A and B are shown apart, each in its own frame.
Chain A
Amino acid sequence: MSEDKGSFGVHGTGDTSGYSGLVRAQVTPGSSERPFGGYFDEVADDLERAFPAFSEAIEKIVVDRGELTLFVKRSHLVETALALRNTETLRFEMCMGVNGVHYPEDAGRELHAVYALLSLTHNRRIRIEVAVPDSDPHLPSLVEVWGGINWHERESYDMFGIIFDGHPGLTRILMPDDWQGHPQRKDYPLGGIPIEYKGATIPAPSERRSYQ
């Protein structure tokens, strides 16, 4: 996912060990192998049965910390969502919203949209994740599938600049209408100001020395 180098408050390599050994690579969990455990196998099997394009649509299935994540290609997002909602054995009738995550180092897949789904019928939770490139941040809107995602998609647009095609009114929701930029992206500064005290200044929170 990202790479941390060096020690406290140092930019550049900052390696004082002399061995260039102070480099830790961070990786997100990769694709999981069957059996996934719990109801996850059932969910995957049922989706595969109900959804012919399963192998094309699903990039990978990750089971991590007792949670199932389906990585879906954006071209198949709406069909996957409909299958998850309509299939009797799946019945994810509630979507708890969509949330953007920005990975600037993940080239070609910078913006992730993460959907949390809930099935009241079967009392299950899963997650869908879709990645889009920063240069073409378009995703099909799921408002037609789950009406309650309307504001969540507007928020993800407002904060991350992900454009949901087909949304009935994709406008800013939290920031003022004339705001420039999308504040919760990693390349958008926190925007704090230095704090002045009598005889001393403390830099803005994003400018302070910090541990990586």
Chain B
Amino acid sequence: MTIHSDPYAESRETTEGRVYSVTGGDWDSLATEIGATKEERVVVNMGPQHPSTHGVLRIILELEGETVTEVRCGIGYLHTGIEKNTEYRSWTQGVTFVTRMDYLAPIFNETAYCLAVEKLLGITDDVPERASVIRVLMMELNRISSHMVALGTGALELGALSPMIFAFRDRELVLDLFEQICGLRMNMAYIRPGGVAQDIPAGAIGKIRETVDQLRINFKDNEKLLVGNTIWMKRTQNIGYLDLAGCTTLGITGPVLRSTGLPWDLRKTQPYCGYENYDFDVITTDSADVYGRFLIRMQELEQSLRIVEQACDKLEKLEGQPVMVADKKIAWPSQLSVGADGMGNSLAHIREIMGESMESLIHHFKLVTEGFRVPAGQVYVAVESPRGETGVHLVSDGGTRPYRVHFREPSFNNLQSTSAMCEGSMIADVIGAIASIDPVMGGVDR
């Protein structure tokens, strides 16, 4: 056997046989070399700098020809130490950290975290209704923007570019709403323990309603492109199969679980933030494949729009009510007002603490720098994020900082099913299967 010298495909003898390291642009020479050997077992390393869009996920594939015999995921390339970092910040500041975990669903991280803090404080029932409605509104808008990325990048990875352009166009509309409501497009830190950071601005409801109407029209574009499209169905139907038994064993939740036909949605089964007062359907399919999960996400968009509309109705009725708990030992001392510079404290509040009341100033200072204390104990709170159950395990030792914050991230858990979904299938279907899990590496690695 002649060994071609190739600067990019070095080969060396190991106990496993001859191993080639390929770093790009040299497949021809590699194919020639491998053609001369007897064994056809090829290990391909996809990532961690990934040609597609799911971030720094490394997939180690063992191939026999085009068939995948073994899949392993290598994760941790985005491990940020957020859980440890929150232990050095106050309970309120923790929101700013957790929002950056699953960066496509920041509002869900914040809400789950705040619900957990509120449960530890024992003030779950004191959170004003208007705050809960705003949370629901923001969560459902966030679900739309997250599903848009899931659909867009999923299609992109299977070679369809146009759906991605449409999806990002619609996502921008939702991000415009976020920007109007809380000033940021991503990583908002808008939900706070006890309520939300500030009330939604005047005129936002009208803008939301307009956007909802526009989105209804826009969603049809992707529907026309993909639903029933022969190529799309051939790439997605009966791919990445995982049935109910597999899902329960692996602890899978979210659209992957619902694609097996089980209507498990925490918004219905274990309602939080008043979800029991909204009228919406839990979407299921029974195909348990990539196409089924795609259909679920498409239809959940419409359900989210329904919830957003109902939330708008409720907000109009609750106009002028507080958005933060009444307890001044927990609530942020002042209503923030949006000034010309974007965000600022209300002038009336500054006048009071600086000019009139020393006690107010001390109280403001203590609450902002020291924060509030949370009684010792532990809780587990779960919300239904776009990817499944986002659970927060919070432990307090009674101090002003969390003792331990742990996120049970749906992406982390669901990514385990890659092996079950992909082994035995073709290499091209691995991409589709992983796209249907919709893992966000920020959530996987935290």
Chain A residues proximal to chain B, CB less than 8 Å: 1-2, 4, 8, 24, 26-29, 64-67, 69, 93-97, 99, 101-102, 114, 116, 118, 120, 123, 125, 127, 146-152, 155, 172-176, 183-184, 190-191, 205-206, 210-212
Whether B397 lies near A96 (C-beta < 8 A) is no
Asked if B62 is at the interface of the complex by the 8 Å CB criterion, the answer is no
Whether B380 lies near A127 (C-beta < 8 A) is yes
A199 smallest CB distance to B (angstroms): 23
Nearest A residue to B88 via CB reads A205
Chain B interface residue count: which class? 35 or more
Measured between alpha carbons, how far is A191 from B120 in the docked complex, in Å?
29
Residue from the set B83, B122, B376 with the largest chain A CB neighbour count within 10 Å: B376
Chain B residues proximal to chain A, CB less than 8 Å: 75-76, 79, 81, 83-85, 87-89, 119-120, 122, 248-252, 262, 264, 269-270, 369-371, 376-380, 382, 389, 391, 393, 395, 397-401, 403-404, 406, 408, 412-413, 415-416, 445-446
Whether B248 lies near A206 (C-beta < 8 A) is no
Nearest A residue to B412 via CB reads A151
Measured between alpha carbons, how far is A128 from B84 in the docked complex, in Å?
23
With beta carbons under 8 angstroms apart, the residue of A95, A148, A206 that contacts B88 is A206
- Chain A residues with CB under 8 Å of B84's CB are 183-184, 190
Nearest A residue to B248 via CB reads A93
Whether A116 lies near B380 (C-beta < 8 A) is yes
Whether A1 lies near B270 (C-beta < 8 A) is no
With beta carbons under 8 angstroms apart, the residue of A65, A175, A190 that contacts B379 is A65
Whether A212 lies near B399 (C-beta < 8 A) is yes
Measured between alpha carbons, how far is A116 from B120 in the docked complex, in Å?
17
Contacts A116-B391, A183-B81 given; does A1 touch B413 at CB 8 Å? no
B179 smallest CB distance to A (angstroms): 29
With beta carbons under 8 angstroms apart, the residue of B251, B399, B400 that contacts A97 is B251
Which A-B residue pairs are the 9 nearest by beta carbons?
A148-B251, A174-B76, A26-B398, A148-B250, A174-B79, A99-B406, A147-B249, A211-B370, A93-B248
Contacts A99-B393, A116-B380 given; does A147 touch B250 at CB 8 Å? yes
Whether B376 lies near A1 (C-beta < 8 A) is yes
| Subset of 30 A-B contacts with CB under 8 Å | A2-B397, A24-B398, A26-B376, A26-B397, A65-B379, A93-B248, A96-B251, A96-B413, A97-B391, A97-B408, A97-B413, A99-B406, A99-B408, A101-B403, A120-B248, A120-B264, A123-B270, A147-B249, A148-B251, A151-B412, A155-B412, A173-B75, A173-B76, A175-B76, A183-B81, A184-B83, A184-B84, A206-B88, A211-B399, A212-B400
